[in-house]
Structure 1
Amino acid sequence: MIKVYSSAPLSFQGQKRRFIKDFKEVLKKFDNITTVVDLFGGSGLLSHVTKRERPDVRVVYNDYDYFCDRLANVAATNEILSRIRPVLQGVEREKKVPAEQRAQILAIISEYSEKGYVDYITLGSSLLFSGKWAKTFQELSKETMYNVVRKADFDVSGYLDGLEVVHKDYRELFAQFKDDKDVLFLIDPPYLATDVVSYENYWKLSDYLDVLKLLVGTKYVYFTSNKSQIVELCEWINTNASIGNPFKGVEIRTQQNSLNYHTSFTDIMLVRE
């Protein structure tokens, strides 16, 4: 029996598990497609669901974040967690891990980091407060730990079955398929004005806006957030296109400001004489 996942088998920031029901309904409308290209594949959940719902189509999953490496190393992740669980005996569920046990946990993880690959994102989801992420041992060692380790091992069996997995810049992948009228593009870029710390690359406003060019003349399912206000922005531009770029040719000065030790922002002053 083919296993169907309703969420990614390992933690991933921004996966679309709450959209799965709607997404399945939308897929039924595209009865004339032969290929689905998941440009910003992330955890691969949309690709997985697409292949299960539409086994008749080719599904290309762009695993730019190399989620497949985390899946491939799940045995090591499960082994690490199996050694951590006894350390946490006596620590109340969802409570802060005391210093002594915390030091033991870090020693276990450090041992595995010296051997090779460690999935810090998955480990972090089992040891950090909800919403916290760590991608390195240094980041994990700075965070307060909580006993939120799952009791069962992670199971990722069959998750990528049937998918064509690639690792490319989304623009390169889009160029391969843009002239094919039987292709549906899944477009789920990192959201603006949203924490994207677990992604591999910094995502600027210009990067986000560049993606909009892919929507012209293509079949697509596009995801965004009300925090980005991209729909409102496009409507405003459509109404006020005649003004052009009001900042063209201005003098720009910046000042770096810090809110705390891990959060900073840049103030910008623009001047036109």
Structure 2
Amino acid sequence: MNKQFNTSPLPFQGQKRRFVKQFKEALNVFSDSATYVDLFGGSGLLAHTVKQKYPNAKVIWNDYDNFQNRLESISETNLLLTELRSFLIDLPRKQRMEAIDRERVLRVVKAHETKYGYVDYVTLSGSLLFSAKYATNYKEFANESFYNRIKLSDYNATGYLSGVERVQNDYKALFDSYKSDTTVFLVDPPYLSTDTSSYNKDNYWKLRDYLDVLSVLDGSKYFYFTSNKSQIVELCEWIETRTMTGNPFQGSTMTTTAGTINHTASYTDIMLFK
């Protein structure tokens, strides 16, 4: 049995680590022989959790954001962090860096990118940018202030998605391919009215896109994730009472968990399943 990960092995904006316990409990409602399709695969944490819970189930992970590339680059990422630790270890933790240290960081990062042709800037952001801030390329990274939040140990994703089938496809096509009475869909689209700065920037979502996703819930077994900031549940209730359109969440079970952005801002994550 592979290690059970309760969080993504690499930093990932919007991962479902706060829902892992509730998600595993809710899986008891569903079959261990079902096919589970993670339509918006993200970090793969939901797919991993299903495979750990039900080893014999078929689990499909739609890696639209190419998280696999980050996983395959962990050894190079660890090398970069090791070099950065060599001179950041003596600096005050979580403090803003002085200009001289900031410039040294940038030189090391640029040299690493030149040598290996790739830097995982999202992972690097978790060690050097202010909490919950992410950069996806050198230009964005170099425009930020740096804080010494360097991770003190190496990353490890050994066995993380073992046995999970990886695909890269439009979620609608994937849904059409697997729709059946024996399929459970994991539906975790980027949240409406929520920062998605570390996601694929070529895939900007509008309100219509969020509403289109709801069509996959009709008649399906599903887990659906959202937050109170999106107000999508309230919108569906309004539509149901004002139009002839049904509410896709009718009859589902809701679980919530609290989240914080900083000391003055908080929100509620929502999981619905049926």
TM-score by length of 2: 0.86
- Trace 1:30-41 onto structure 2 (pairs within 5 A): 30-31=30-31, 33-41=33-41
The CA distance in 1 between the partners of 2:4 and 2:66, in whole Å, is 21
Counterpart of 1:60 in 2: which secondary structure?
Answer: strand
The CA distance in 1 between the partners of 2:89 and 2:227, in whole Å, is 40
Matched, 1:240 2:242: yes
The CA distance in 1 between the partners of 2:4 and 2:25, in whole Å, is 16
Aligned residue number for residue 225 of structure 1: 227
Matched, 1:78 2:65: no
Report the CA distance between 1:32 and its aligned residue. Answer: 6.6
Alignment coverage as a number of residue pairs: 242
Aligned residue number for residue 188 of structure 1: 188
- Trace 1:5-24 onto structure 2 (pairs within 5 A): 5-24=5-24
The CA distance in 1 between the partners of 2:142 and 2:62, in whole Å, is 31
Residues 98 and 32 of structure 1: is their aligned pair in 2 closer, same or farther, counting only changes over 3 Å? closer
Report the CA distance between 1:56 and its aligned residue. Answer: 1.6
Q: CA RMSD in A?
A: 1.3
- The amino acid that maps onto 2:135 is A
Tell whether the 8 Å contact from 1:64 to 1:168 is kept in structure 2 after alignment: yes
Residues 166 and 114 of structure 1: is their aligned pair in 2 closer, same or farther, counting only changes over 3 Å? same
The CA distance in 1 between the partners of 2:155 and 2:32, in whole Å, is 37
Aligned residue number for residue 47 of structure 1: 47
Tell whether the 8 Å contact from 1:40 to 1:188 is kept in structure 2 after alignment: yes
Tell whether the 8 Å contact from 1:87 to 1:105 is kept in structure 2 after alignment: no
- The amino acid that maps onto 1:148 is R
Q: Percent identity over the alignment? A: 51
Counterpart of 1:223 in 2: which secondary structure?
Answer: strand
Tell whether the 8 Å contact from 2:135 to 2:141 is kept in structure 1 after alignment: yes
Q: 1:42-75, CA deviations, whole angstroms, 9 ceiling, x for partnerless residues?
A: 0000000000001121000001001010000000
* Bigger CA radius of gyration: 1
The CA distance in 1 between the partners of 2:173 and 2:244, in whole Å, is 32
Aligned residue number for residue 91 of structure 1: 91
Q: 1:170-204, CA deviations, whole angstroms, 9 ceiling, x for partnerless residues?
A: 111111012x2100000000000100111102111
Counterpart of 2:61 in 1: which secondary structure?
Answer: strand
- The amino acid that maps onto 2:175 is F
TM-score by length of 1: 0.86
- Trace 1:80-119 onto structure 2 (pairs within 5 A): 80-115=80-115, 116-119=117-120
The CA distance in 2 between the partners of 1:35 and 1:235, in whole Å, is 29
Residues 161 and 32 of structure 1: is their aligned pair in 2 closer, same or farther, counting only changes over 3 Å? closer
Aligned residue number for residue 147 of structure 2: 146
- The amino acid that maps onto 1:227 is K
Paired residue for 2:213, among 208, 211, 214? 211
Aligned residue number for residue 252 of structure 1: none
The CA distance in 1 between the partners of 2:32 and 2:147, in whole Å, is 49
Residues 208 and 33 of structure 1: is their aligned pair in 2 closer, same or farther, counting only changes over 3 Å? farther
Tell whether the 8 Å contact from 1:33 to 1:183 is kept in structure 2 after alignment: no
Counterpart of 1:222 in 2: which secondary structure?
Answer: strand
The CA distance in 2 between the partners of 1:40 and 1:136, in whole Å, is 23
The CA distance in 2 between the partners of 1:49 and 1:160, in whole Å, is 9
